[in-house]
Amino acid sequence: MPVYRTGSAEETVALGEAIARELPRRCVVLLIGNLGAGKTTLAKGIIKGLGAAEEDEVSSPTFTLIHEYGGGRVYHIDLYRIDEPREIRTLGLDELLEREAVVLVEWGERFPHMWPPERIEIRLKDVDDGREISM
């Protein structure tokens, strides 16, 4: 499992762009980490690297729960405010998972049974000099 270190938001975005080049066209990526660990920053890089939006067009979907980019090629989901699995069912995630798209999910580890077993998990952790990111 590769482990990367980034020392700034710019380096985290650049790493996201590099990760994007390796992703299949259809996949689920769980972004796992504490509040403020850099999940949305990494998502900005991945979305930019996939050519779905510019970095400044990407924001956290904490309140809207799902953002769509690139005409449905990328979905960015944030489950931070979701408490019950039944709440997730109302979002229509089953339909999203059937699409030819990259689905980035923040806080998805709270509901592991919702995701396909062949998902990609990226863990982000604050360290003294920045972030540690492992896949």
Q: What are the sequence ranges of the domains in the chain?
A: 26-126
Q: Comparing C-alpha atoms, which of 103, 27, 26, 21 is closest to residue 68?
A: 103
Tell me the pTM: 0.94
Does 42 score more than 90 pLDDT? yes
Tokens of residue 10, six digits: 């710019």
**Mean per-residue pLDDT of the chain:** 93
Q: What is the mean pLDDT of residues 10-18?
A: 98
pLDDT at 70: 96
Q: How confident is the model at residue 101 (pLDDT cuts 50, 70, 90)?
A: very high
CATH of segment(s) 26-126: 3.40.50.300
Angle between helices 39-49 and 9-22 (to 10 degrees): 50
Among 12-16, 78-82, 83-87, top mean pLDDT goes to 12-16
Instruction: Quote the pLDDT of residue 83.
Output: 86
Q: CA 62, CA 129: separation in Å to the nearest integer?
A: 26
